[in-house]
Amino acid sequence: MKAQAVKLNDRVYWVGAIDWGMKEFHGYETQGSTYNAYLIIADKITLIDTVRADFADEMLARIASVVDPSKIDYIISNHTEMDHSSALPKVLEIIKPEKLFASKEGVKALNEHFKLPIEVTPVGDSKLDLGGAHLSFIETRMIHWPESMFTYFEEDGILFSQDGFGMHLASSERFDDEIDFGRLKYEAAKYYANILNPFSNLVAKLLEKLGKLNLDIKMIAPDHGPVWRSHISDTLSWYGAWSDPKRTAKALIVYDTMWHSTEKLAVAISEGMLAGGAKPRIMPLTAFHASDIVTELLDSGALVVGCPTFNGGVLPSVAAFMQYIKGLKFRHMLGAAFGSYGWSPAVVKQLNEQFEAMRIELAGEGVQAKFVPDDAALEQAYNLGFSIAGKLKNNS
Ligand code: FEO
């Protein structure tokens, strides 16, 4: 196949692959993605990360547009997850590099994934001389996996950050300033919320570590999405905010409904919030994907979840949503529950228990209504919204 590398500067090239059709990434709804790999032309020609196995030929073709792949001396694996490593067995057979580097945990993880024809050389927080070009490795545990690391190209100021600062976005543009700024921020936030949020405390520590290293970063080159060259301070400050979320006046109301009774309660809660000065956003699970809802959670002060009682429990759609946010460890916001029931109310109690198990502070007992909410139930829902707004006001 014919495919071109994209120049980052005189000696660094993007040689990754674009996956136009990927719709889902472990439960996260995407519009395609890219698997980025980078080629450094130095005395020791070096490839940083690879791609998903079925995109190996595309990556090799892009490399071949710059240099014969067999001339590559070193390969660095910053992250073992299959979207960056599963091409390795094939690529190693073709390239036959002198060395393959990974973090200490990366060595184990690569050998646990693949039968590789080369011994993997472990690196810690250390340096590598490519001849006229120096790389330093920075361990970034749990961003995204235990073995993950960043590689910093000292002379050229490029931080190869694997999943960090990435986004799932298939596009022909390779740089941040070629993409609409609002889209860029949304996709970066969506990636953070759905992939990195569980590790926010480690993200905060990593930002501190990067600050202490005092790197002169001219580009951030992640393994997904565009290369950052114009909005580096933006993306760093977004990560600072997302890793230390605050209870803002924004409140999400998320629900599913059978006969619109739970929906009526949702609208009443929203009215109460508006009257109390909060900024409600109604996001029914029938209209919004969970991965977009959790993106909005990054800067929300409250999450109010509604569901009718169904066979003594929650609807499968709501159960799946609660399971999803549990895994992503959102904890900063207030939680509350509401829902209708026919003869045996169960959902509000069950949702409250789930919030508590997730260590999410409850904003109140919740609201439940028999069959179709009457005026008294709608007033209770309104009052719940009003009271949450008051709590958010006191917090912000
Ligand atoms: Fe893009 Fe954690 O893999």
- With pLDDT > 90 as the criterion, what percentage of the chain qualifies? 98
Q: Does ligand 1 come within 6 angstroms of the Cβ of 62? A: no
Q: Does ligand 1 come within 6 angstroms of the Cβ of 223? A: yes
CB atoms within 10 A of CB 237: 12
What average pLDDT does this structure show over 212-220?
A: 97
Instruction: Say how far apart CA 381 and CA 379 lie, in whole Å.
Output: 5
Confidence of residue 396 (pLDDT cuts 50, 70, 90): low
Confidence of residue 394 (pLDDT cuts 50, 70, 90): confident
Range of the structural domain that residue 184 is part of: 6-243
Does residue 148 form part of some domain?
A: yes
| One domain for residues 197 and 225 | yes
| One domain for residues 261 and 354 | yes
Active site residue 332: no
| One domain for residues 239 and 257 | no
Q: How far is CA 389 from the centre of its chain?
A: 28
Q: How far is CA 231 from the centre of its chain?
A: 18
The sign one gets for the Cα dihedral 253, 355, 27, 47 is: positive
Give me the catalytic one of 58, 83, 187, 223. Answer: 83
**Ramachandran angles phi, psi of 234, nearest 5°:** -65, -50
Does residue 195 form part of some domain?
A: yes
92, 56 Cβ separation under 8 angstroms? no
Does residue 396 form part of some domain?
A: no
Counting the structural domains of the chain, the total is 2
CB-based contacts of 221, cutoff 8 Å, min separation 6: 8, 12, 14, 36, 38, 158, 159, 160, 161, 227, 228
| One domain for residues 264 and 237 | no
What average pLDDT does this structure show over 204-213?
A: 97
Active site residue 84: no
| One domain for residues 228 and 268 | no
Does residue 151 form part of some domain?
A: yes
C-alpha dist (Å) from residue 42 to 93, 100, 102, 134, 213: 22, 16, 19, 9, 24
User: Strand, coil or helix: what is 116?
Assistant: coil
User: What is the number of the ligand 1 atom nearest to the C-alpha of 144?
Assistant: 2
pLDDT in the model for residue 221:
99
Active site residue 176: no
User: What is the number of the ligand 1 atom nearest to the C-alpha of 35?
Assistant: 1
Q: Does ligand 1 come within 6 angstroms of the Cβ of 83? A: yes
What average pLDDT does this structure show over 148-175?
A: 98
Instruction: Say how far apart CA 352 and CA 314 lie, in whole Å.
Output: 12
Does residue 172 form part of some domain?
A: yes
Q: How far is CA 236 from the centre of its chain?
A: 14
User: Strand, coil or helix: what is 232?
Assistant: helix
DSSP class of 31: B
In angstroms, what is the span from residue 286 Cα to ligand 1's centroid?
Answer: 28
| One domain for residues 81 and 106 | yes
Does residue 36 form part of some domain?
A: yes
Q: Is the pLDDT of residue 1 over 90?
A: no
Active site residue 180: no
Q: Which amino acid is at 229?
A: R
Q: Which residues of 88-127 are buried (b: 16+ CB within 10 A; e: fewer)?
A: bbebbeebebeebbbbebbbbbbeeebeeebebeebeeee
| One domain for residues 64 and 181 | yes
- With pLDDT > 70 as the criterion, what percentage of the chain qualifies? 99
> Which domain-ending residue is among 200, 225, 243?
243
User: Strand, coil or helix: what is 64?
Assistant: helix
User: Strand, coil or helix: what is 328?
Assistant: helix
User: What is the number of the ligand 1 atom nearest to the C-alpha of 82?
Assistant: 3
Does residue 1 form part of some domain?
A: no
Active site residue 134: no
CATH label of the domain that carries residue 75: 3.60.15.10
Q: Does ligand 1 come within 6 angstroms of the Cβ of 250? A: no
| One domain for residues 283 and 380 | yes
17, 59 Cβ separation under 8 angstroms? yes
User: What is the number of the ligand 1 atom nearest to the C-alpha of 163?
Assistant: 1
> Which domain-ending residue is among 223, 243, 263?
243
C-alpha dist (Å) from residue 133 to 9, 12, 79, 114: 13, 11, 22, 30
In angstroms, what is the span from residue 45 Cα to ligand 1's centroid?
Answer: 24
| One domain for residues 35 and 156 | yes
| One domain for residues 76 and 101 | yes
> Which domain-ending residue is among 243, 259, 276?
243
The sign one gets for the Cα dihedral 323, 224, 298, 261 is: negative
The predicted-structure confidence for 80-135, as pLDDT tens digits, reads as follows 999 999 999 999 999 999 999 999 999 999 999 999 999 999 999 899 999 989 99
What average pLDDT does this structure show over 159-172?
A: 98
What average pLDDT does this structure show over 31-49?
A: 98
pLDDT in the model for residue 90:
98
Tokens coding 291: 């991965």
DSSP one-letter string for 352-395: HHHHHHTTPPBSSS-EEEESS--HHHHHHHHHHHHHHHHHHHHH
The predicted-structure confidence for 304-334, as pLDDT tens digits, reads as follows 999 999 999 999 999 999 999 999 999 999 9
| Nearest residue to 195 (alpha-carbon basis) of 85, 287, 329 | 329
Active site residue 35: no
Instruction: Say how far apart CA 271 and CA 328 lie, in whole Å.
Output: 29
| One domain for residues 232 and 344 | no
Does residue 155 form part of some domain?
A: yes
| One domain for residues 73 and 157 | yes
Q: Is the pLDDT of residue 337 over 90?
A: yes
Q: Report the predicted TM-score, pTM, of the whole model to 2 decimal places.
A: 0.97
Q: Measure the CA angle with vertex 49, ends 48 and 52; round to 5°.
A: 150
364, 388 Cβ separation under 8 angstroms? yes
What average pLDDT does this structure show over 239-253?
A: 98
CATH label of the domain that carries residue 341: 3.40.50.360
